């Protein structure tokens, strides 16, 4: 009888599922499994740190709306994945992680790189398990991918001991599930009676606001939500990662009136997002304390944990929004909330000139808002923008719009520094025909800067723009401990890695440098523009924590 190895089963299973890309660092005992997968035509992108592999897989998942895959070697290689995996957990992103492991037959003997990797991974995943028998590899990989996208998405981990990978079994003994169905999602409908209750509340409101998040993106519900907003005339505000469900130059988008809308709303329709610090846990004074609350979420636990709730609908965000449209989109007349939209539009218009003036400053050192203006005016309308840092993250959030769903990625709810470069790599691997721009703080860039080498080696021409303010966060008095990093010539580093690199110190030189970067990526080269910015410029934003830096 013909036999097959565990390594070969890994490659064949991934191929049948439809995986086309994974991110990894080589090492035992996963090397032959990697080789098997790549021989099947799956692209392997080797990074420079395993946490970057997890972060790149995360971005790949966000951009493609399917699980991203990362792999680490046994021991430290797998443990290094955990920062990126924890980031995916808090961000509710479907990342599948495989870790090579010591042989089961030597567990408890102090063998090379022995550690209970499943125990390490359980707190930072929604599911973590080990394969104990070679013939079950396809079954367990299938389960891992299914669990990553089931209900609320999230990361999963599968431990692959060396004796399981290198074990040989008869092909007839292999348990092959129907892998053509692995990536199919369940999209449950909401209770029609609760939808009717929600519609009645909306009909009675005069100042409603839609609050949406990434759940809308994972459910492929952006079109349904946009249609709802256009038919009903309800203003909408999203989480930072949920941006693009409505183009931010849409008539119903009032970004500069966000604070007013939150305080004056009389109803919140919360679609596919948690009520965490991003929306102030719906607590006054930041949020209206008298507004009625309707929630739509695929996770019953989220509905159950609502700090305030009038109607809670458990279901897939996109599916429920289509139900809402069918049941009552026409009942809520688009002109009904015209006065409310007019109020927000007036605030939007009143603030816009002041904002544009602040962004047009010629001050030197360059103000980060001027850098954001130049990036905003330069990037393609459908560019994928990744933003990572402290001040530049906040300035970028305030000033650079997004027009398409899944085209905006940042440090997320976990606030993980260093995600920018690896997420740029993952986004470009997922959408090679889209312009990918990474706007980075200099401190955060240093954490995974060598992923610029990954981009260069794998022909992933991203544009990296660094706000070089010489350290971690703004520090007008230069009194923060460990803040100073100096003004590193990252452009020279980029050149040494085979990339295009430039340093900019004058505001009028930013756009020409960006245009030269654009020409460089047309030739397949990643490009880095190192822009010296004002170390005293402190972004004004909502204070989420008493321990903010």
pTM listed for this prediction: 0.95
Last residue of a domain, one of 181, 200, 224: 181
User: Could you report the per-residue pLDDT of 364-382, keeping only the tens digit for each?
Assistant: 999 999 999 999 999 999 9
Average pLDDT, the chain: 94
* Domain region containing 436: 360-532
How many structural domains compose the chain?
A: 3
User: Could you report the per-residue pLDDT of 68-106, keeping only the tens digit for each?
Assistant: 999 999 999 999 999 999 999 999 999 999 999 999 998
Quote the CA–CA distance of 241 and 238 in Å, as a whole number. Answer: 8
Amino acid 48: pLDDT: 98
Do 398 and 276 share a structural domain? Answer: no
Amino acid 420: pLDDT: 97
Q: Does residue 549 surpass a pLDDT of 60?
A: no
Amino acid 504: pLDDT: 98
Do 380 and 308 share a structural domain? Answer: no
Q: Does residue 548 surpass a pLDDT of 90?
A: no
Three-state SS string over 147-203 comes to HHHCCCCCCEEEEEEHHHHCCEEEHHHCCCCCHHHCCCCCCCCCCHHHHHHHHHHHH
Amino acid 329: pLDDT: 66
Taking CA atoms, 101 is separated from 53, 125, 128, 157, 358, in Å, by: 18, 18, 14, 12, 54
538, part of any domain = no
Amino acid 27: pLDDT: 96
**Percent of the chain that is helix, strand, coil (3-state, to 5):** 45, 15, 40
Amino acid 544: pLDDT: 42
User: Could you report the per-residue pLDDT of 446-469, keeping only the tens digit for each?
Assistant: 999 999 999 999 999 999 999 999
Last residue of a domain, one of 294, 316, 346: 346
User: Could you report the per-residue pLDDT of 173-229, keeping only the tens digit for each?
Assistant: 998 999 999 999 999 999 999 999 999 999 999 999 999 999 999 999 999 999 999
Q: Does residue 330 surpass a pLDDT of 80?
A: no
Q: What percent of the chain has pLDDT over 90?
A: 86
Do 524 and 463 share a structural domain? Answer: yes
Q: Does residue 483 surpass a pLDDT of 50?
A: yes
Q: Does residue 547 surpass a pLDDT of 50?
A: no
542, part of any domain = no
Amino acid 543: pLDDT: 46
- The answer to whether residues 225 and 214 touch, using CB atoms and an 8 Å cutoff, is no
186, part of any domain = no
User: Could you report the per-residue pLDDT of 144-153, keeping only the tens digit for each?
Assistant: 999 999 999 9
Amino acid 353: pLDDT: 87
Do 206 and 171 share a structural domain? Answer: no
- The answer to whether residues 253 and 242 touch, using CB atoms and an 8 Å cutoff, is no
Do 316 and 283 share a structural domain? Answer: yes
Amino acid 541: pLDDT: 61
């Amino acid at each position: 009888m013909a036999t097959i190895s565990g390594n070969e089963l890994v490659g064949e299973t991934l191929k049948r599922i439809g995986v086309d890309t994974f991110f990894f660092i080589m090492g035992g005992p996963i090397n032959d499994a990697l080789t098997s997968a790549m021989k099947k035509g799956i692209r392997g992108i080797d990074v420079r740190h395993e946490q970057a592999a997890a972060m790149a897989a995360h971005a790949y998942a966000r951009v493609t709306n399917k699980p991203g895959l990362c792999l680490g070697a046994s021991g430290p290689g797998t443990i290094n994945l955990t920062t990126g995996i924890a980031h995916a957990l808090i961000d509710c992103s479907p990342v599948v992680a495989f870790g090579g492991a010591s042989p089961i037959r030597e567990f408890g003997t102090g063998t090379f790189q022995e550690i209970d990797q499943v125990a390490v991974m359980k707190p930072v995943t929604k599911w973590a398990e080990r394969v104990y028998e070679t013939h079950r590899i396809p079954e367990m990989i299938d389960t891992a991918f299914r669990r990553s996208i089931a209900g609320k998405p999230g990361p999963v981990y599968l431990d692959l001991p060396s004796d399981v990978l290198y074990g040989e079994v008869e092909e007839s003994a292999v348990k092959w599930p129907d892998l053509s169905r692995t990536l199919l999602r369940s999209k449950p409908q909401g209770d029609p009676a609760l939808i009717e209750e929600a519609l009645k509340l909306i009909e009675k409101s005069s100042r409603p606001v839609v609050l949406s998040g990434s759940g809308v993106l994972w459910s492929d519900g952006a079109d349904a939500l946009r249609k709802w907003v256009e038919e009903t005339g309800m203003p909408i505000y999203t989480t930072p990662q949920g941006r693009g469900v409505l183009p931010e130059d849409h008539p119903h988008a009032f970004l500069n009136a966000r604070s007013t809308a939150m305080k004056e709303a009389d109803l919140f329709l919360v679609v596919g997002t948690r009520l965490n610090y991003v929306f102030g846990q719906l607590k006054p004074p930041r949020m209206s304390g008298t507004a009625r609350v309707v929630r739509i979420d695929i996770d019953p636990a989220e509905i159950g944990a609502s700090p305030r709730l009038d109607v809670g609908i458990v279901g897939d965000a996109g599916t429920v929004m289509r139900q809402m449209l069918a049941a009552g989109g026409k009942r809520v007349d688009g002109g009904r909330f015209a006065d409310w939209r007019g109020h927000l539009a007036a605030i939007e218009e009143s603030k816009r000139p002041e904002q544009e003036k602040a962004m047009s400053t010629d001050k030197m050192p360059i103000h980060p808002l001027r850098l954001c203006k130049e990036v905003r005016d330069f990037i393609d309308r459908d560019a994928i923008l990744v933003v990572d840092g402290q001040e530049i993250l906040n300035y970028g959030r305030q000033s650079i719009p997004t027009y398409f769903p899944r085209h905006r990625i940042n440090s997320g709810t976990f606030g993980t520094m260093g995600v920018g470069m690896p997420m740029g790599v993952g986004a470009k691997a997922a959408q090679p025909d889209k312009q990918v721009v990474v706007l980075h703080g200099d401190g955060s860039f240093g954490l995974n800067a060598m992923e610029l080498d990954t981009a260069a080696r794998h022909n992933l021409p991203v544009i990296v723009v660094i706000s070089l303010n010489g350290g971690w966060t703004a520090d007008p008095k230069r009194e923060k401990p460990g803040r100073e990093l100096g003004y590193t010539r990252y452009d020279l580093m980029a050149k040494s890695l085979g990339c295009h690199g430039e340093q900019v110190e004058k505001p009028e030189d930013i756009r020409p440098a960006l245009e030269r970067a654009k020409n460089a990526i047309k030739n397949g080269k990643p490009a880095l523009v190192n822009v010296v910015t004002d170390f005293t410029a402190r972004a004004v934003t909502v204070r989420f924590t008493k321990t903010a830096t």
